[in-house]
Chains A and B, each alone.
Chain A
């Protein structure tokens, strides 16, 4: 008995988040259900039990105690997933070195960021809270579920989501380190070197540990273990296939470079982020099985995206690359359905293809497609309900559900949705974001270093 109690206690210690995540029971009645993977179902109900979809069909009767949402005339689709975001984080760039694989945005999750609520108001239920792009090998990232309302950062994290890490190629890492600090990388040659060096050293580190682990059990062994190195531990986990690389990239040459490097080191799990010139190497990406997470139409805000096109997502999709549309922005994340719809103008994607870009495809890129990204029995009940077709510019997201709980309701929510109010904050404190679009948001937090170093921004 004592043993059972203590193991229960241990279990509670090990998984505090699992215990606190709230899950709801819900019946969504009579909507047009867009399943993504299994077509559209008219006048259909979705039953949610304990945070999971338990039944999809017609004429389902709600068990007692279930919340019922009348979705007559509305569209019911899976919660939108953003594979590239920085909301819900108090900081994003550990810009101090070209390789900071040891850090993790999971240590900087801010569950009280009102941007999470605003993302919910755009039907987004999951975002990939990424490290910035100041370094060639940035920190590890966190996949968060938009359980807005909690003040516990652990509850915000999507339990069991695969580990991911941010890499970055091109102008950002070369500006911050080469131009800013006169250390490698200053060029795209240097970026390749930083990555190859990290992989090679981690390989040696891994081999040293393997040798030690094999020898230590043997009789008469007198050696010492290798010195622990958090950075190499992380890179070794990439080599072992335990971490998905999400690489900030723009130009075709640098994208191709990383494909070659990953091939040399046997790394399969690779997603390119932004990847504005991905369309130029679409056959290579498709052949490798690398995926792409792109902007719908951002271009020309910096030189490395000057020779790009809004047809990128369509070209990648039609070449067989698993593609998603991301935001990288607290603004854009609120209308990813609209961003996805732009692929119908630029390349004529079908409704199914366009909606996959913000649901099942980003789920694949984050390694969570068995749990979310489509409306199927057994999957987690992350659901967005729209008035009007979600690909119409006139659509309005009405209700957003996470784990079977309504987290956004346009009709019922208050205007002020902050969880925490700074008592010292001036009440009439307005911020008017400059409309000047001259960067991706991945350099946020690195700008202080850069002002100091060479007066940029």
Chain B
């Protein structure tokens, strides 16, 4: 009889599991104790056999001698690791669904000088790309606008929430596409002269806008905000002119990087980061001397010149770091932001080293974005935005077991896993009537 009860119970349990799977999974908020884990804090070394307590969205305890709060859901992480959520310092995630379908691309507005266009507005919390990304341990991304010279305001978002405000991770920056003297791809067949002309013209536009922004700021300051009329472009640029907001300069070619450094110095821009920076290794000393950090990537890229060594893009981050530049890594992608740790791994193998590579996708971008008090490491008081894995997330063999964002336990489900579950053993198979 007892055996029968067990069988019945087992059957009922498996039914419950089935029911649970059939529902659309939701995030879960609460108090969690992740025990017996190897904790990679990033900022304070590795803790063996440690515990992390998550409560009210925050990390409330980290260490080997931690009291588990009453009512906490205990998750045994024996043989597993805890890492801070990975941060991608430059993506289109949330604002672009299918790149080739224009109606799903919302990060590229009409106009050259439109810094007031806010990426956060266009972030679609229900993008199918978001779960695909976060189940791989990338919890936080910069969603950036593209297009003109000042195409808009980028926003840092956490990959969980039902409104942009719920996803907002506390940073916005103004993007500038520095006038480029490089080519954009095989289809760019302009002459050298045309390229230079276009770059000069673009530079003039940027300088005009910057001058106007300074005037606007002066007028605003003198009148305490009362003497200025509605001028959204200048209102958006003013915090940058004042040094209150980060200017994110997108620049790749070595001479453009030099020109950008010169421009920043001339204009006395206080808070700057260089983005892309594919030629960074060529002028690494100059970037280091300027004390400006970079967010570089994609790392898995071809060299910018036919005569460059084949592995330049892999080695770029390491070479810049060696010269003393602060380096964060980005994918510059949308649908495959999940590959961020692999970009970091390539940088690691070709000179950056594993430790620094991990920092370049955790604490370093958090510091660049001014959110290191909340993100980028496993420390008490920080946001519980982290993941549990069965190994080094930079290795493809590693599986991500658990993800927490702002203290929410994330369902480990995405379109990709759902297809796997449905189609690994498709039913019906070839014949609809025969099993």
- 25 CB < 8 A contacts A-B: A115-B302, A280-B423, A302-B101, A309-B419, A314-B420, A334-B310, A335-B346, A342-B396, A345-B397, A345-B399, A393-B342, A393-B394, A394-B345, A395-B349, A428-B253, A430-B183, A430-B252, A430-B253, A431-B188, A432-B184, A432-B253, A432-B304, A434-B184, A435-B298, A437-B333
For chain A, the count of residues having a C-beta within 8 Å of the partner chain is 67
- In the complex, how many angstroms separate the beta carbon of B196 from the nearest chain A beta carbon? 11
- Bits for A297-320, please: 1 = Cβ < 8 Å to B, else 0: 111111100111111001100110
B192, B310, B415, B420: the one within 8 Å of A417 (CB): B310
Residue B44 is within 8 A (CB to CB) of chain A in the complex: no
In A318-341, the 8 Å CB interface with B consists of 318-319, 330-331, 334-335, 338, 341
- In the complex, how many angstroms separate the beta carbon of B134 from the nearest chain A beta carbon? 14
- Contact partners of A280 in chain B: CB under 8 A: 419, 423, 426
For chain B, the count of residues having a C-beta within 8 Å of the partner chain is 69
Most buried by B among A287, A307, A319, A345: A345
For residue A297, which residue of chain B has the nearest CB? B336
In A268-316, the 8 Å CB interface with B consists of 279-280, 282-284, 287, 297-303, 306-311, 314-315
In A347-369, the 8 Å CB interface with B consists of 347
Q: How far is the CA of A393 from the CA of B350 in the complex (A)?
A: 11
Q: How far is the CA of A416 from the CA of B310 in the complex (A)?
A: 8
Residue B429 is within 8 A (CB to CB) of chain A in the complex: yes
- Is there an interface contact between A393 and B349, defined as CB atoms closer than 8 Å? yes
- Is there an interface contact between A308 and B419, defined as CB atoms closer than 8 Å? yes
Q: How far is the CA of A310 from the CA of B416 in the complex (A)?
A: 6
- In the complex, how many angstroms separate the beta carbon of A207 from the nearest chain B beta carbon? 33
B100, B128, B302, B342: the one within 8 Å of A330 (CB): B302
Most buried by A among B276, B342, B349, B423: B423
Q: Provided the pairs A308-B419, A347-B420, A393-B349 are in contact, do residues A300 and B342 lie with their beta carbons within 8 angstroms?
A: no
- Contact partners of B348 in chain A: CB under 8 A: 394
- In the complex, how many angstroms separate the beta carbon of B305 from the nearest chain A beta carbon? 6
Inter-chain residue pair count (beta carbon < 8 A): 182
- Is there an interface contact between A302 and B396, defined as CB atoms closer than 8 Å? no
Q: How far is the CA of A175 from the CA of B146 in the complex (A)?
A: 26
- Bits for B186-224, please: 1 = Cβ < 8 Å to A, else 0: 111000100000000000000000000000000000000
- Contact partners of B181 in chain A: CB under 8 A: 430
Q: Provided the pairs A391-B396, A435-B298 are in contact, do residues A300 and B97 lie with their beta carbons within 8 angstroms?
A: yes
Residue A344 is within 8 A (CB to CB) of chain B in the complex: yes
For residue A428, which residue of chain B has the nearest CB? B255
A284, A331, A431: the one within 8 Å of B300 (CB): A331
- Is there an interface contact between B99 and A121, defined as CB atoms closer than 8 Å? no
Most buried by B among A315, A318, A432: A432
Most buried by A among B129, B301, B302, B341: B302
Residue A426 is within 8 A (CB to CB) of chain B in the complex: yes
- In the complex, how many angstroms separate the beta carbon of B426 from the nearest chain A beta carbon? 6
Known: A297-B339, A309-B420. 4 other contacts (CB 8 A): A334-B310, A391-B397, A418-B307, A437-B99
- Contact partners of A303 in chain B: CB under 8 A: 98, 100-101
Q: Provided the pairs A302-B100, A438-B99 are in contact, do residues A433 and B302 lie with their beta carbons within 8 angstroms?
A: yes
Show the binding face of B for A, using Cβ within 8 Å. Answer: 92, 97-101, 128-129, 146, 180-188, 192, 252-255, 276, 278-279, 298, 300-302, 304-311, 332-336, 338-339, 341-342, 345-346, 348-350, 354, 394-399, 415-417, 419-420, 423-424, 426, 429-430
Residue A192 is within 8 A (CB to CB) of chain B in the complex: no
Show the binding face of A for B, using Cβ within 8 Å. Answer: 114-115, 117-118, 121, 279-280, 282-284, 287, 297-303, 306-311, 314-315, 318-319, 330-331, 334-335, 338, 341-342, 344-347, 388, 391-396, 415-418, 421, 426, 428-439, 444, 447, 457
For residue B398, which residue of chain A has the nearest CB? A345
- Is there an interface contact between B183 and A438, defined as CB atoms closer than 8 Å? no
Q: How far is the CA of A438 from the CA of B96 in the complex (A)?
A: 11
- Is there an interface contact between A415 and B307, defined as CB atoms closer than 8 Å? yes
Q: How far is the CA of A306 from the CA of B132 in the complex (A)?
A: 12
Q: How far is the CA of A121 from the CA of B416 in the complex (A)?
A: 31
For residue A287, which residue of chain B has the nearest CB? B430
- Contact partners of A306 in chain B: CB under 8 A: 97-98, 128
User: Which 4 residue pairs across A and B have the least CB separation, nearest first?
Assistant: A438-B99, A393-B345, A300-B335, A311-B420
B100, B182, B396, B423: the one within 8 Å of A315 (CB): B423
Q: How far is the CA of A396 from the CA of B349 in the complex (A)?
A: 7
- In the complex, how many angstroms separate the beta carbon of A301 from the nearest chain B beta carbon? 5
Q: Provided the pairs A344-B396, A393-B342, A429-B305 are in contact, do residues A309 and B99 lie with their beta carbons within 8 angstroms?
A: no
- Is there an interface contact between B398 and A438, defined as CB atoms closer than 8 Å? no
- Contact partners of A395 in chain B: CB under 8 A: 349
A283, A311, A344, A437: the one within 8 Å of B335 (CB): A437
- Is there an interface contact between A300 and B310, defined as CB atoms closer than 8 Å? no
Q: How far is the CA of A318 from the CA of B311 in the complex (A)?
A: 35
- In the complex, how many angstroms separate the beta carbon of A290 from the nearest chain B beta carbon? 13
- Is there an interface contact between A309 and B394, defined as CB atoms closer than 8 Å? no
- Is there an interface contact between A331 and B302, defined as CB atoms closer than 8 Å? yes
Q: How far is the CA of A117 from the CA of B395 in the complex (A)?
A: 26
- In the complex, how many angstroms separate the beta carbon of B253 from the nearest chain A beta carbon? 5
- Is there an interface contact between A301 and B306, defined as CB atoms closer than 8 Å? no
Q: How far is the CA of A315 from the CA of B306 in the complex (A)?
A: 38
- Is there an interface contact between B182 and A431, defined as CB atoms closer than 8 Å? yes
Q: How far is the CA of A300 from the CA of B345 in the complex (A)?
A: 24
- Is there an interface contact between A430 and B305, defined as CB atoms closer than 8 Å? yes
- Contact partners of B424 in chain A: CB under 8 A: 311, 314-315, 318, 347
For residue A437, which residue of chain B has the nearest CB? B99
Q: Provided the pairs A299-B335, A330-B302, A338-B396 are in contact, do residues A393 and B346 lie with their beta carbons within 8 angstroms?
A: yes
